[in-house]
Amino acid sequence: MPKTKYDRIYRDLKTKIEAGDYEYQELLPSESSLINEYDCSRNTVRRAIAALVRDGYVQTMQGKGVRNIYRPLAQASFTLGTIESFRESAARNHQESSTKVVCFAELTADAKIARKTGFAAGSELYYLQRVHYLDGKALILNHNYFLKSAVPGLTKEIAENSIYAYLEHTLHMTIVNSIRIMTVEKITEIDEKYLEVNQNEYNCLAVVSSHTYNSDGVMFEFTQSRHRPDYFRFQDNAVRRRF
Amino acid sequence: MPKTKYDRIYRDLKTKIEAGDYEYQELLPSESSLINEYDCSRNTVRRAIAALVRDGYVQTMQGKGVRNIYRPLAQASFTLGTIESFRESAARNHQESSTKVVCFAELTADAKIARKTGFAAGSELYYLQRVHYLDGKALILNHNYFLKSAVPGLTKEIAENSIYAYLEHTLHMTIVNSIRIMTVEKITEIDEKYLEVNQNEYNCLAVVSSHTYNSDGVMFEFTQSRHRPDYFRFQDNAVRRRF
DNA sequence: GCCGATTTGTCCGTATGTATC
DNA sequence: CGATACATACGGACAAATCGG
């Protein structure tokens, strides 16, 4: 599966760390021994290690070595920094997932929708409402807007499964990056209807709005994900920039 | 100020992009012309560009070039992926900030605190409650726990200003990374007291819990930041991993 | 305190592959 | 098809930090 050399090394080390091959705080093998082990250049090893640093798995110390700081998560959570479909993060957390399409429509963006989504007014769009279930519980209500010209042939059946699999494997689109904003908003009647939250308990929910781009540089998706507050959980590894 | 060559290039390009030197969707100069412009190797240019990709400023396209996708933010927000002190993000957003220490205590971690913070039971800790103000409004209630052995000599006066400045410039500590979890929690009386939120309007708030490590690999800080929901706003640029 | 060995950090040059135009 | 552009990979040199003798 790994297409490149550094990816193979990255995955191999990551698997070993997750399996507990290195103690918490233990040093990994030095770069030079990894070079021998994987029969590659120093740059290639360093690239794999840099990816582990970004993941929060290890930290590097000049003159000392590379330390394992990985701690298994106590609870399942979504991740920041990388794009994952709902199905993918469910699989990563070893959870059962399913998706129900409660609305599938085609529309033309008016001024209000344009302002809300960032698409140009007049754009032809698919508009979907989808509910994501994890281990049988309704957790997320998604409002998806897809640019029809970039995502032709979308159907309700595809949306019940994985839209991203359709984009990547059938349309051969390359998804590149997604700019996301997380906020907290008041709960609405629609939220209540699909997410079965008791307003007396929680009167707001977590909202993740995202603008997603493909390799042609076109923003092809705007999505607003409304998360049940009691199950909302995002994880992030932040690094200090030292310049 | 930039200590390395790739940092100088990174900052220079970033400044130009923010200043609007390149149109949205316009291509940046090719790697080879940047090599000439900055008189450096290809690796160095690529490293600077990789940092801009991570920031969500540009996207690279094999065979085509590097496209500017930077859009100035409509609203101020905190960032994910990088560690910023409250003062630093306020400055980035051109906002006035101040901090009030409402509790400064020293304590020894019992079993309950150990479970909550991740410090070993018996650890000597500083415990602080601080309220952060932005443009005069109380936005964040922070519960900080610092490991006394790693952060000696902390005082209320230091905490009123910038603890991170003290850590980095006085103690010469190197802050490396921070593992953060974002959740939504019910509002408490303490929150209400300091953040002046009307419970009828919002009965919950956004909580960011973080475990922060220094270059010795010790977790020296656990912080729970409780954000006023109506001003909570975090931004993230996620990339699709393509392997 | 010094020195040498080890380890990571920065930077360079080159070769080859792949995608675009 | 050739020229251009980014992607991967290799190898080498020197700097900076750490550690043990």
Question: Averaged over A212-234, what is the pLDDT?
Answer: 91
Please indicate if any CB of chain B lies within 8 Å of the CB of A174.
yes
pLDDT in tens, A54-66: 999 999 999 999 9
pLDDT value at residue B99: 93
Chain A residues inside the 8 Å CB shell of B177: 53, 56, 59, 69, 237-240
Among A6, A139, A184, A211, the residue to mutate for chain B (most B Cβ within 10 A): A184
Residue A81 has pLDDT above 90, yes or no: no
Please indicate if any CB of chain B lies within 8 Å of the CB of A65.
no
Question: Averaged over B216-234, what is the pLDDT?
Answer: 92
Residues A151 and A126: beta-carbon distance below 8 Å: yes
The closest of A191, A192, A178 to A223, measured between CA atoms, is A178
- Give the H or E element holding residue A177: strand A175-186
Chain A residues inside the 8 Å CB shell of B238: 80-83, 177-180, 210
User: Which residue has the least CA–C1' distance to nucleotide C6?
Assistant: A63
Cα(B204)–Cα(A205) distance, rounded to whole angstroms? 9
Residue A242 has pLDDT above 70, yes or no: no
Provide the pLDDT confidence category of residue A13 given band limits of 50, 70 and 90.
Answer: very high
Question: Averaged over B129-151, what is the pLDDT?
Answer: 93
pLDDT in tens, B173-216: 888 889 999 999 999 999 999 998 877 788 999 999 999 998 88
Cα(B83)–Cα(B167) distance, rounded to whole angstroms? 14
Cα(B170)–Cα(B152) distance, rounded to whole angstroms? 11
Confirm whether any atom of chain D, the nucleic acid strand, is less than 7 Å from CB of B170.
Answer: no
Look over chain B and give the mean of its residue pLDDT values, rounded to a whole number.
Answer: 91
Residue B51 has pLDDT above 60, yes or no: yes
Among B1, B89, B184, the residue to mutate for chain A (most A Cβ within 10 A): B184
pLDDT value at residue A103: 95
Q: How far is CA B243 from CA A42, A174, A181, B149, in A?
A: 20, 12, 26, 43
pLDDT value at residue B242: 57
Q: Would you list the DSSP string of B171-196?
A: S---EEEEEEEEEEEE--HHHHHHH-
Nucleotide nearest A33, from its CA to each C1'? C7
DSSP state of A171: S
* Nucleotides of strand D under 7 angstroms from a protein beta carbon: 4-13, 16-19
What lies within 8 Å, CB to CB, of A50 at 6+ separation is none
Which residue does chain A place closest to B4, by CA atoms? A243
Q: What angle do CA B8, B13, B15 make, to 5 degrees?
A: 95
pLDDT value at residue B196: 84
pLDDT in tens, A113-138: 999 998 999 999 999 999 999 988 99
Question: Averaged over B120-128, what is the pLDDT?
Answer: 94
Q: CA B19, B23, B27, B31: dihedral to nearest 10 degrees?
A: -10
Give the lowest-confidence range in A1-5, A9-13, A111-115, A193-197.
A1-5
Beta strands B97-108 and B124-134 are antiparallel
pLDDT in tens, A186-197: 999 999 999 988
CA-atom Rg of chain A in angstroms: 21
Residues A212 and A175: beta-carbon distance below 8 Å: yes
Q: What angle do CA A162, A164, A167 make, to 5 degrees?
A: 120
Tokens representing B134 are 């932005």
Calculate how close chain A gets to B51, using CA atoms only, in Å: 11
Provide the pLDDT confidence category of residue B75 given band limits of 50, 70 and 90.
Answer: confident
The closest of B49, B55, B62, B175 to A81, measured between CA atoms, is B55
Cα(B193)–Cα(B212) distance, rounded to whole angstroms? 28
- Of all residues in chain B, the percent with pLDDT exceeding 70 is 99
Nucleotide nearest A59, from its CA to each C1'? C8
Question: Number of Cβ pairs closer than 8 Å across A and B?
Answer: 179
CA-atom Rg of chain B in angstroms: 21
Confirm whether any atom of chain D, the nucleic acid strand, is less than 7 Å from CB of B51.
Answer: no
The closest of B182, B236, B204, B221 to A75, measured between CA atoms, is B182
Please indicate if any CB of chain B lies within 8 Å of the CB of A243.
yes
pLDDT value at residue B212: 93
Calculate how close chain B gets to A28, using CA atoms only, in Å: 14
B206 and A205: CB-CB below 8 Å? no
Residue A176 has pLDDT above 70, yes or no: yes
Cα(B127)–Cα(B168) distance, rounded to whole angstroms? 20
Cα(B203)–Cα(B178) distance, rounded to whole angstroms? 28
